[in-house]
Amino acid sequence: MAEFTMELNDEQKEVRDWLHGFAADVIRPAAAEWDEREETPWPVIQEAAKVGIYSLDFYAQQYFDQTGLGIPMAMEELFWGDAGIALSIVGTGLAAVGVLANGTEEQIGTWVPQMYGDANDVKLAAFCSSEPDAGSDVASMRTRAVYDEAKDEWVINGTKTWATNGGIANVHVVVAVVDPELGSKGHASFIIPPNTPGLAQGQKFKKHGIRASHTAEVILDNVRVPGSCLLGGKEKLDERLARARERAKAAGGGERVKNAAMATFEASRPAVGAMAVGTARAAYEVALDYAMTREQFGRPIIDNQGVAFQLAEMRTQIDAARLLVWRASWMAINGKPFTAAEGSMSKLFASETAKKVTAQAIQILGGNGYTREYPVERMHRDSAIYTIFEGTSEIQRLVIARTLSGMSIR
């Protein structure tokens, strides 16, 4: 188990500086254009693939960093560049992690490379879990997967929403209900191969922020996939469902078993917190530079306590958010249980900090901050998503309160 540290080692610093350079030289100059176009920034993703950032190897190296700081460090630097473009670069990782965590060795070897493609033929992947009536309430999921034993195929029907890369991805990973009587314990995940009949893109959402990231509905109409596309395989699924039925029977149907999807979200939330830290830090740096160079009444505006104190508070909250993210990330990689919902704490504080800091940055820039000539306006729009996806701030508070009290607070 790696010791907890608040300092990056030499190798991590080298990676951080490399990512920062890419964010500064490639992502930032393209940010305003792709925000206005509201399209997937293929040229930037291709450039990321050429240098090795958009690749399974890079993502895996950071994911398995035993200090736990690889992923949050990478996310902070990329999202410092621009949230929308960064999400387009890292969005495939959501689906890849789903396969790495639940798939067999054969499934991992077959499908994860197809999610990324290569520098000459870039591909995308999409993770599809949320539904129009089942966002935070995963137990209300309606997408069904029914096994056709005669053909060894699964037939999937339903609608997914808020899917990053949904409909344009080469590979989709879809969560569906296989046993409705088991509620959230009766879910399973499936690979939908490229060009599978019945899968179509539904509505593409025109969003307030992260507009360079493609977000859409995914429609599944009698989608048939081979039995080999069930992540983990049929035998493993049958064993898991049998155990869930036995536990429910022993508890008279009233047992509350921790939802596997929610546990996964809890472990991944520090990464979202790191994204928020990157956006907040970017806005703070713009505001600090502006305050030191903008003059009013013959002196820089940072000479005024009203401005200087805001900047002091902004920096303090950003550093506090980063520390919460690093603590939770270290705990997750080292198997430490989140006994106080530390994962949710990190996301809650970091996401709320991003919204507050970006708003303060606009205030410091005044009228200029309200225009698209300066990036803080875009950063403020982008920051709103952190309090919504991977569990809203209200859900984070609920998770924390339930964990601390041991009570089923509603």
Q: Count the neighbouring beta carbons within 10 Å of the beta carbon of residue 384.
A: 16
For the chain, give the longest Cα–Cα distance: 82
Task: State the pairing for strand pair 171-177/125-128.
Answer: parallel
Residue with tokens 């995963």: 138
Amino acid found at 289: D
* Contact of 91 with 124, CB cutoff 8 Å: yes
Q: Can you spell out the DSSP letters for 50-102?
A: HHTSSSHHHHHHHHT-TTS-HHHHHHHHHHHH-HHHHHHHHTHHHHHHHHHHH
Count CB-CB contacts under 10 A for residue 259.
16
Residues written for the chain: 410
CA distance 173 to 131: 14
Task: Find all residues with CB under 8 Å of 381, minimum gap 6, and list them.
Answer: 208, 209
3-state secondary structure of 390: coil
> What is the C-alpha separation between 315 and 327, in angstroms, rounded?
18
CB 193 within 8 A of CB 116: no
Whether residue 191 contacts residue 182, with contact meaning beta carbons closer than 8 Å, is answered with: no
The answer for 66, left when phi > 0, alpha when psi is -120 to 50, beta otherwise, is alpha
193 with 171: CB under 8 angstroms?
A: yes
Contacts of residue 143, Cβ cutoff 8 Å, sequence gap at least 6: 131, 156, 157, 158, 159, 160, 174, 175, 176, 177, 220
To the query of whether residue 153 is one of the catalytic residues in this protein, the response is no
Which is catalytic among the residues 77, 342, 352, 390?
390
Rounded alpha-carbon distances, angstroms, from residue 278 to 217, 274, 282, 319: 28, 6, 6, 11
**Sequence-ordered list of residues with C-beta below 8 angstroms from that of 123, at least 6 positions apart, any chain:** 92, 114, 115, 116, 117, 169, 170, 171
Catalytic residue set: 390
